[in-house]
Amino acid sequence: MQEKVLFDLNETYFDDNSETVEEPEIVHDDISLEIVDTPFIGQCFLSEEEAFAFYQKFAKHNGFSIRKGRFTNDKDGEMNRRDFFCHRQGKPDPKKVDHSKEQRNRGSSRCGCKAHMRIALRRTNEIFPEEWHVATFSLEHNHELLSAKEVRFLPSYRTITKEDEKRILMLKECGLSVKQIMRVMEVEKDVPHGQLQFLSKDVHNFLSKIREMHSQNDAKELLQYCVQSKYENPNFQYVYKLDEENKLEHIFWSPAHCFDWYQKYGDVVSFDTTYKVNSYDMPFGIFVGVDNHGRTILFGCALLRNETTNTFKWLLKNFVTLMKRPPKTIITDQDPWLTEAIAKEMPSTKHAFCIWHITSKFSGWFNSILRSDYSSWCSEFYSLYKLDTIEEFEQQWPSIIANFWVPAYLRGFFFGGMTTTGRSEKDVEQTQIHDTMLEKYRGSFMRLESPLEEQAHRLLTPYAFKKFQLEFGRAIQYMVHKQTCTSFIVKHHQPTWGNKHEVFWDGIVGKCSCKNYEFVGILCRHILCVLIHEDCFEIPITYWPSRWSREVVSPTHNKSSINSTLINNDELVIDETIEVVQRPPKSKPKGRPKNKQVKGGMETAKRRKCCSICKGVGHNASTCPNKEKYAMNGAASIRASKKKKIMLEHQDLNPVFALKY
């Protein structure tokens, strides 16, 4: 009887006398080294997807890409044949030209290539499942094939996986540019530079696709964010308005912490609008101020359809309503529609123009007229600008009517050191905690060991205390002439420095003609000089403003608010109407269109490069003939620039708006 031999197919058997030889691992750095089988007629695949993946791998190895083509169905409607073509198969479709739009002029890559693979569904017999068989196969290309290094740039081989998409969105949300995102992902994937499976162009297209997808519902998403924030914290404020087509027209919102900041530091507000910061070109307005540490804080934001008087009235009216009170002072640019709206909705608020918006236009206004006298005129204007009283200014320049921005007209109003609209939000709370830690850790430097200085250190924040120290330290440079028991004349010990100042002090109330206290909230050096002269060792508590104190007490306000803050035709409706809100149309910014703006002489003139040493033309600093002459004066110039820098460091405002003494 023949003995049966049983083999377990799951085990590997070796001859006792055979030796096991380990084959070295082959690493293919180049795709051309990889062995890829060529399709053949009769080759079988279990599915259409398997056949496509096989042919795609073959195509990539041979320098082209493929796409799915026509297919046929059987009588039951199921597909039984499919063609895969070279990506350059067929002829380009006739291009429809719309002459009213800008043409891209992008050519087609199709050139009638005949290379293809056709698969058909059939069953060999009843014991085998249905399989896809290669029916026809052609390698007849009529174009040049790409190399292994070139083929990866074809669109079909540049893929962004779902994991990569999530990573790209996270990095983009962190503020990284596309170039930075590409470099970070190269490092994370440990691939050489430029060897990712996609290009920066693909990332741009992906982000554009995401933006377009979200843009359909971005108005609803913004309102949903406001509703959710209001639910989580009742101090979150928002209001919006729809037009007749239920499209978002205006919206204002103030996060809860910004609302709390306004209750403490909302006495001075700066409002400004910016353009081209959103896909709808809507003007984006921000309300900002300064806290008791002198740092910029945000009070609220707004997106507006336009910048008409009615729009600004809507915004300011709702701002006052939601924020519970108007500011004492507001700084804006020179917008006549905004000025009219402020006069209507904030009648008790002092309105001032941003000094930067004014002085930045001086060169355009006067340079071509005054020519060489322009610098002298600026110096004279600055001298007039520093005057204390309205009478002095009008006596020296009676033709100037400057009811908003000349300091003589503003000294009696509180500005808290703000003179421009150019402030932005910072991470204030974190910085405040850090500064408080540093003060406790290091302590504050007491310069004069005076009771007045000790009182200021005890009550004021570090920022305000430094301002007080600056005034207190310079008070000893002034002479006091007592006119009466309550009237004093204070003047610098050098007659050429500054003007004389009139100070009133009766032991309780102090006033100075410079009005620095009314303007900034810190006692000026002139009053402090009188206090020292009169042997006063304690400043009345009324001269320590709460907004500069270490512990700021918020004004009481009614926290009850209406949950539905949609305003449509001046009526309140419920929040469920968010579902009908449509995305806003593109706004048209005020002014002449950019492509129709007439350029001035400075813009159209060809600028000639000049030497940085002698300011001459025709040569540069390295070939300057006067290099040695100017080198001798270099040390003096450096000392002068350092002195100027030190002077400017003591002036924490715009140089044109620096306080005078």
The tokens describing 279, both together, are 């896909």
The tokens describing 318, both together, are 């709702």
- Mean local confidence (pLDDT), 325-338: 88
As a whole number, the mean pLDDT across the chain is 76
Name the pLDDT band for 32 (thresholds 50, 70, 90). Answer: very low
From 412, 429, 515, 416, select the one nearest 464 (Cα to Cα).
Answer: 416
The answer, yes or no, to whether residue 467 has pLDDT greater than 60, is yes
Q: Provide the pLDDT for residue 154.
A: 87
How far is Cα 436 from Cα 552, in angstroms, rounded to an integer? Answer: 14
Name the pLDDT band for 23 (thresholds 50, 70, 90). Answer: very low
- Mean local confidence (pLDDT), 20-24: 39
Q: Which range has the worst mean pLDDT, 390-394, 561-565, 627-631?
A: 561-565
The neighbour count for residue 553, using CB atoms within 10 Å, is 9
Q: Which range has the worst mean pLDDT, 24-33, 189-198, 386-395?
A: 24-33
Q: Provide the pLDDT for residue 76.
A: 76
How far is Cα 249 from Cα 302, in angstroms, rounded to an integer? Answer: 11
DSSP string, 564-630: --EEETTEEE-GGGGGG-BPPPPP--SSS-GGGPPP-HHHHSPPPPB-TTT--BSS-GGG-TTHHHH
Cα atoms in the Cβ-side hemisphere of radius 13 Å centred on 87: 19
Name the pLDDT band for 235 (thresholds 50, 70, 90). Answer: very high
| More reliable by pLDDT, 341 or 639 | 341
Name the pLDDT band for 119 (thresholds 50, 70, 90). Answer: very high
Name the pLDDT band for 581 (thresholds 50, 70, 90). Answer: confident
Domain layout of the chain by residue ranges: 43-91+109-157, 162-215, 217-424, 434-543
From 420, 522, 503, select the one nearest 463 (Cα to Cα).
Answer: 522
Would you say 443 and 422 are in contact if contact means Cβ atoms under 8 Å apart?
no
How far is Cα 661 from Cα 184, in angstroms, rounded to an integer? Answer: 54
Q: Which range has the worst mean pLDDT, 70-84, 215-229, 313-327, 360-374?
A: 360-374
Percent of the chain predicted with pLDDT > 70: 67
Q: Provide the pLDDT for residue 24.
A: 38
**Which bin fits 48, alpha (ψ -120 to 50), beta or left (φ > 0)?**
alpha
Beta bridge partners of 131: 122
Q: Provide the pLDDT for residue 326.
A: 93
Name the pLDDT band for 424 (thresholds 50, 70, 90). Answer: very low
3-state helix, strand, coil in the chain (%, to 5): 40, 15, 45
Would you say 182 and 164 are in contact if contact means Cβ atoms under 8 Å apart?
no
Show Cβ contacts of residue 88 under 8 Å, excluding neighbours closer than 6 positions.
64, 109, 110, 111, 112, 113, 141, 143
The answer, yes or no, to whether residue 296 has pLDDT greater than 90, is no
Name the pLDDT band for 602 (thresholds 50, 70, 90). Answer: very low
| More reliable by pLDDT, 67 or 12 | 67
- Mean local confidence (pLDDT), 392-420: 52
Report which secondary-structure segment, H or E, holds 312: helix 309-323
The answer, yes or no, to whether residue 125 has pLDDT greater than 60, is yes
The answer, yes or no, to whether residue 279 has pLDDT greater than 90, is no
Place of tokens 């803050």: 565
Q: Provide the pLDDT for residue 11.
A: 47
Name the pLDDT band for 582 (thresholds 50, 70, 90). Answer: confident
The answer, yes or no, to whether residue 496 has pLDDT greater than 90, is no
Percent of the chain predicted with pLDDT > 90: 22
The answer, yes or no, to whether residue 274 has pLDDT greater than 80, is no
Show Cβ contacts of residue 2 under 8 Å, excluding neighbours closer than 6 positions.
none
| Residue 159 exposed, middle or buried by CB count within 10 Å (0-12, 13-18, 19+) | exposed
Q: Provide the pLDDT for residue 571.
A: 41
Would you say 323 and 254 are in contact if contact means Cβ atoms under 8 Å apart?
yes
From 291, 370, 306, 296, select the one nearest 338 (Cα to Cα).
Answer: 306
The tokens describing 540, both together, are 């009345």
| More reliable by pLDDT, 8 or 58 | 58
The neighbour count for residue 26, using CB atoms within 10 Å, is 8
How far is Cα 151 from Cα 443, in angstroms, rounded to an integer? Answer: 66
| 3-state secondary structure (DSSP) of residue 252 | strand
Q: What is the pTM of this model?
A: 0.59
- Mean local confidence (pLDDT), 584-601: 60
User: What residue type is assigned to position 260 of the chain?
Assistant: D
| More reliable by pLDDT, 558 or 579 | 579
Strand order in the sheet with 501-505: 478-482, 487-492, 501-505, 510-512
The answer, yes or no, to whether residue 592 has pLDDT greater than 90, is no
Q: Provide the pLDDT for residue 422.
A: 53
Could you read off the pLDDT of 622-653 as tens digits, one per residue? 788 877 776 656 555 545 555 444 443 444 43
Q: Provide the pLDDT for residue 260.
A: 92
- Mean local confidence (pLDDT), 97-107: 65
User: What residue type is assigned to position 369 of the chain?
Assistant: I
The answer, yes or no, to whether residue 404 has pLDDT greater than 50, is no
Q: Can you list the alpha helix ranges (DSSP code H) found in 152-286?
A: 162-173, 178-189, 200-215, 218-232, 256-265
The answer, yes or no, to whether residue 613 has pLDDT greater than 80, is no
CA 517 to chain centre: 35
Q: Provide the pLDDT for residue 526.
A: 92
Q: Provide the pLDDT for residue 102.
A: 65
Beta bridge partners of 298: 288
The tokens describing 37, both together, are 């089988």
User: What residue type is assigned to position 68 of the chain?
Assistant: K
The tokens describing 280, both together, are 């709808």
Could you read off the pLDDT of 42-98 as tens digits, one per residue? 899 988 999 999 999 999 889 899 988 888 887 777 888 899 999 888 887 776 666
Q: Provide the pLDDT for residue 21.
A: 38
Name the pLDDT band for 615 (thresholds 50, 70, 90). Answer: confident
Q: Provide the pLDDT for residue 554.
A: 53
Name the pLDDT band for 394 (thresholds 50, 70, 90). Answer: low
Place of tokens 């196969």: 137
Q: Provide the pLDDT for residue 250.
A: 92
Q: Provide the pLDDT for residue 402.
A: 39
CA distances from 200 to 60, 160, 172, 196 (A): 21, 11, 13, 10
The answer, yes or no, to whether residue 316 has pLDDT greater than 90, is yes
- Helix-then-strand count for the chain, H and E: 23, 18
From 457, 466, 452, 467, select the one nearest 529 (Cα to Cα).
Answer: 452
DSSP string, 428-493: HHHHHHHHHHHHHHH-PPPSS--HHHHHHHHHB-HHHHHHHHHHHHHGGGEEEEE-SSSEEEEEES
Residues 224-237 as b/e (b if ≥16 CB within 10 A, e otherwise) read: eebbebbeeeebbb
The answer, yes or no, to whether residue 420 has pLDDT greater than 90, is no
From 52, 64, 153, select the one nearest 110 (Cα to Cα).
Answer: 64
Would you say 580 and 574 are in contact if contact means Cβ atoms under 8 Å apart?
no
CA dihedral sign of residues 44, 48, 54, 60 = positive
Q: Provide the pLDDT for residue 585.
A: 79
